[in-house]
Amino acid sequence: MDDLFAPPGTVWQPVSPALPRLRRLLLLLVVAALLVVLLVLTLLLELPVGLWLPLALVLLAVAVAGWVVVGRNARWWGYAEREEDLYVRHGALYRRLVVVPYGRMQYVDVEAGPLEQLFRVASVHLHTASPGTSARIPGLPAEEAARLRDRLTTLGTAQAAGL
Amino acid sequence: MTTADRPPRRLSPLTPLVRGFIVPVAVLFSTWDDLLRGDVGPVALVLLGLLLAGAVYGTASWLRTSYWIEADELRVDTGVVSRQSRRIRVDRIQGVDVSQPFMARMFGLAELKLDVAGGGAEGSLAYLTLADAEELRETLLRRRDVARKDEAGEAGEGGGPDAPPPAPEREELLARLDPRTLVLSLVLAPDTVVFLLVAVAVGTTVALMGSVGGMATVVPIVIGWALTQSRRLSAFHRFTVTALPGRLHVRRGLFTLDSATITLARVQGVAVSEPLLWRPFGWARLDVSLAGDSGSHDDDRPASTTVLPVGPRPLVLALARRLLVEAGSPDPDAVVLRPVPARARWVAPVRHRFLAAGADEHLVVARDGWTTRRTQAVPHARVQSLRLHQGPWQRRLGLADVHVDSPPGPVHVVARHRDAAEARRLLDAETVAARTARVAQA
């Protein structure tokens, strides 16, 4: 990968491999649901082949493209804990790198939806006084998310700087 | 320290009158003829009844409202039937504004608005006499400073909240806006350019279609524009900026007088705007981002983050330096700004000419905009977080954006379309500079 988004003197910690699995499952579920809808409509309305076949092919193409994109994006998620700040990198097409000083953190959220709980992962979301700070790390193993949250809050309190 | 050093007081007895002023006027207006004839009809009776009920309620509400300071809290009790008690911690107060809506001003009254850290819980006292409001503001700000010093474990030079108030410092006049400049600047405002373009477009279309009656479509545009500008005129009339130690005072208004306090420790960044048509006159406008600003200003009213709506550029920059005193009063204009590489024209065909960014030991600065040139500056010590962005086109061209995140407000420094390697260097350098400045301030 290129220098521009190189980690600051360390290596990027990857997110859990469960993240792409989770997102691919979600993708397949959605595509499967749409295919079922298409099938039902075809049978009920006796749609011509010229209509349902292209639609089905488009759905399949979306599934394949989504599969690839999810994998690529997951590889691009990474974070690096440094002494005084946290680096987060993400996005394969639109690349983003965020630097959040611990002293600027106001609070840390850990979120896990039903599907995420099934895969035993969670997201960690950092908030500063600026709404522009978009520091969110999805798909961390649940215990790693808890560890990171605790570490961040500890460091945040220790290095807290007022506004 | 628990000192009920201020006995509970009531708002001005004129409060119900000012609050409900419109009702008696409406009653009189609608029943004037009847009253003159000495013939009180049913409508007048109902209205008079309502008026009486309103007067009773207003008086009761006034009787049941009181405020005092106790245990470093401003306490406000309200409510005729169900009672409410609001307590505002003095050390959480960010700013205190005194506002005189037109009606209140007629009676020499004012409203005190409190900006409280943590957002949401805003306090307001309406109405006090102007003198009371100003005196209470001074008291609250002084006590806040003392409370914060106590918290920081420092011996306040005031010697605690019981010390007699220090002699009032003299306010230093920094800027006063004269009406001619204001009117001319509003006529030449950026909206005017848009307005003219729309008017010309509509006019041309109508002329081409050959219908003179169609000219009427321009009328609503003209009215809308005139309304916007007159609203600004009334808000910015007699705009005055004065300085006291640690803060600036902004006073403005034609009908409604507003007086806002800018605590210098809250300044997060400044923005200098120069619309195209102002540049021949060398005018600029100054806005500021403040910590704890709720950011929920209604769009109709000019924002209270404006420190000077229009003024000569040197004056605007002098004020900017005043605002940045916590960062060592750096001059945003002294920062060397570098343009973007020529290849940025493929992503920003026109805009790339106006993009520039740079940093020095105190500030990180970015400039942008053709019709309105905006120079935004944030002190290193106030940087929240930093971001590097690169889209697919930028990657092909070897460009990237650097965002400097600030609390909500008019200032958001973005160095767009920098050379990629330079962008990363800027990000890393700013990370270090922000950390150093933060540590130095702590």
Residue B138 CA: distances (Å) to CA of B90, B96, B144, B344: 12, 9, 10, 52
pLDDT digits (tens, 9 = 90+) for A55-68: 999 999 999 999 99
In chain A, which residues have their Cβ closer than 8 Å to the Cβ of B148? none
**B435/A99 touch (CB, cutoff 8 Å), yes or no:** no
- Whether the upstream peptide bond of residue B127 has omega within 30° of 0, thus cis, is yes
End-to-end CA distance of chain B: 26
Using the Cα atoms of residue B345, residue B350, residue B351 and residue B356 in order, give the sign of their dihedral: positive
- Within 10 A of A109 (CB to CB), how many other CB atoms are there? 12
Angstrom distance (rounded) from CA B169 to CA B296: 32
Q: H-helix or E-strand containing B183?
A: helix B179-187
Angstrom distance (rounded) from CA B290 to CA B305: 8
User: Do B308 and B319 form a contact (C-beta atoms < 8 A)?
Assistant: yes
**B403/A132 touch (CB, cutoff 8 Å), yes or no:** yes
Can you give the pLDDT at residue B1? Answer: 42
Can you give the pLDDT at residue B161? Answer: 47
In chain B, which residues have their Cβ closer than 8 Å to the Cβ of A129? 291, 384, 407
**A129/B384 touch (CB, cutoff 8 Å), yes or no:** yes
Nearest to B129 by CA among B110, B104, B102: B110
**A133/B408 touch (CB, cutoff 8 Å), yes or no:** no
Can you give the pLDDT at residue B5? Answer: 65
In three-state secondary structure terms, B146 is: helix
Domain B6-151: which topology? PH-domain like (2.30.29)
Q: H-helix or E-strand containing B221?
A: helix B218-236
Residue of A nearest to B379 (CA): A163
- Burial status of residue B170 (CB atoms within 10 A of its CB: 0-12, 13-18, 19 or more): exposed
B392 lies within 8 A of chain A by CB: yes
Residues of chain B with CATH 2.30.29.30: 6-151
In three-state secondary structure terms, B398 is: coil
Task: Kindly report the nearest CA distance between residue A34 and chain B, in angstroms.
Answer: 30
> Taking residues A37-45, what's their average pLDDT?
91
The per-residue DSSP string of B400-425 comes to: EEEEEE-SSSS--EEEEEEEHHHHHH
Residue A12: phi, psi to the nearest 5?
-75, 130
A163 lies within 8 A of chain B by CB: yes
Q: What percent of chain A clears pLDDT 70, i.e. is strictly above it?
A: 97
pTM above 0.90, yes or no: no
Mutate to test the interface with B, among A10, A83, A98 (most CBs of B within 10 A): A98
Can you give the pLDDT at residue B35? Answer: 66
Residue of A nearest to B433 (CA): A101
The per-residue DSSP string of B29-57 comes to: HHHHHHHHTT---HHHHHHHHHHHHHHHH
The top-scoring range by mean pLDDT among A5-9, A93-97, B77-81 is A93-97
Task: Find tokens 């009254």 and name the residue.
Answer: B109
Left, alpha or beta for B52 (phi > 0: left; psi -120 to 50: alpha)?
A: alpha
Instruction: Label residue A1 by pLDDT band (50, 70, 90).
Output: very low
Task: Work out the mean pLDDT of chain A and round it to a whole number.
Answer: 88
In chain A, which residues have their Cβ closer than 8 Å to the Cβ of B436? none
The pLDDT averaged over each successive group of 10 residues in chain B (442 residues) is: 67 83 70 68 76 86 88 85 84 84 88 73 80 90 83 50 56 90 89 81 78 70 85 90 89 88 89 93 93 56 79 94 88 91 92 93 92 93 93 94 91 94 93 90 74
> Taking residues A68-95, what's their average pLDDT?
91
User: Do A112 and A123 form a contact (C-beta atoms < 8 A)?
Assistant: yes
Angstrom distance (rounded) from CA B295 to CA B305: 9
- Burial status of residue B303 (CB atoms within 10 A of its CB: 0-12, 13-18, 19 or more): middle
Angstrom distance (rounded) from CA A98 to CA B387: 4
Nearest to B325 by CA among B248, B229, B395, B429: B248
HSE of B394, CA atoms in CB hemisphere, 13 A: 23
Query: Tell me: domain B326-442, CATH 1.10.10, correct?
Result: no
Q: Give the burial string for A43-79 (b: 16+ CB within 10 Å, else e).
A: eeeeeeeeebeeeeeebeeebeebbeebeebbebbbb
Nearest to B218 by CA among B207, B229, B228, B233: B207
User: What is the DSSP code (8-state) at residue B101?
Assistant: -
The per-residue DSSP string of B288-354 comes to: EEETT------TTS--TTEEEEEEEHHHHHHHHHHHTGGGT---GGGSPPEEPPGGGGGT-TTGGGG
What are the residues facing A109 on neighbouring strands?
A125
- Burial status of residue B120 (CB atoms within 10 A of its CB: 0-12, 13-18, 19 or more): exposed
